[in-house]
C-alpha cells in the first residue's frame, strides 16, 4: 500500500503542471496606457507570466531577459509577455519601471488573483500558459540558458498549434 501511494504521489507531481487550469483575470496595468489588463481579451493568447516582487534580486536579474523574450515574439500578437508583481505600493512600481524600462505589460497582482492560481511558491517564477488556460511550462529562479530555452521552446510549440479554446 505504501509503495502504491508513493507511485501515485510521483505521478501526480509529474502531471501537476498539466493539471493546472488558469482562469483569466483582470489586473491593474502599471505601465503603458494604464487601466486594466484583461487576459480574457486575448482568447487566442499564449501567455508568458513572470511572477516577481519588486525588491527580489533574482527577479531584477531576469528583467532584461523578459524584455528580450518580449522582443523575440513581438511580431505575434498571440504571445502576451506579462510581468506580474505582487507588491502593493504603486510608487515602487514606478521606480521599477523606470529602472527596467519594460517593453511589455507590468501588472499589479497584490491580491494574488493570478499568482495563487499558478501555485507560486518562489520568486521569480515563469509560466507559459496556452490559450485554453493550461500551464505548459514552469521555471523557478533566475534564468540560465536551460530555463530560457524551455520557455522559448514552449512558446514556439504553442505558436505552431491552432487554438480553439472551446476544444
Boundaries of every domain in the chain: 20-159
- Domain covering 20-159, topology: Glutaredoxin (3.40.30)
Half-sphere exposure of 47 (CA within 13 A, CB side): 30
DSSP 44: T
Q: 98-157, pLDDT tens digit by residue?
A: 999 999 999 999 999 999 999 999 999 999 999 999 999 999 999 999 999 999 999 999
Provide the angle, in degrees to the nearest 10, between the axes of the packed helices 57-72 and 145-159: 40
Give residue-wise pLDDT tens across range 27-62. 999 997 779 999 999 999 999 999 999 999 999 999
Angle, CA 109 vertex, CA 83 and CA 128 arms, to 5°: 45
Cis preceding linkage at 130, omega within 30: no
Phi/psi for 80 (5° steps) reads: -110, 105
Amino acid at each position: 500500500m505504501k509503495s502504491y501511494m508513493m507511485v501515485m504521489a510521483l505521478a501526480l507531481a509529474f502531471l501537476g503542471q498539466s493539471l493546472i487550469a488558469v482562469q483569466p483575470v483582470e489586473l491593474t496595468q502599471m505601465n503603458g496606457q494604464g487601466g486594466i489588463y484583461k487576459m480574457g481579451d486575448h482568447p487566442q493568447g499564449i501567455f508568458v507570466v513572470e511572477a516577481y516582487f519588486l525588491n527580489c534580486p533574482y527577479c531584477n536579474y531576469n528583467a532584461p531577459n523578459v524584455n528580450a523574450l518580449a522582443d523575440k515574439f513581438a511580431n505575434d500578437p498571440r504571445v502576451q509577455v506579462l510581468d506580474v508583481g505582487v507588491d502593493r505600493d504603486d510608487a515602487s512600481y514606478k521606480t521599477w519601471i523606470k529602472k527596467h524600462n519594460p517593453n511589455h505589460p507590468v501588472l499589479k497582482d497584490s491580491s494574488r488573483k493570478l499568482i495563487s492560481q499558478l501555485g507560486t511558491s518562489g520568486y521569480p517564477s515563469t509560466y507559459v500558459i496556452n490559450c485554453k488556460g493550461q500551464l505548459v511550462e514552469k521555471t523557478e529562479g533566475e534564468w540560465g540558458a536551460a530555463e530560457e530555452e524551455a520557455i522559448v521552446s514552449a512558446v514556439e510549440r504553442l505558436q505552431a498549434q491552432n487554438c480553439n479554446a472551446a476544444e
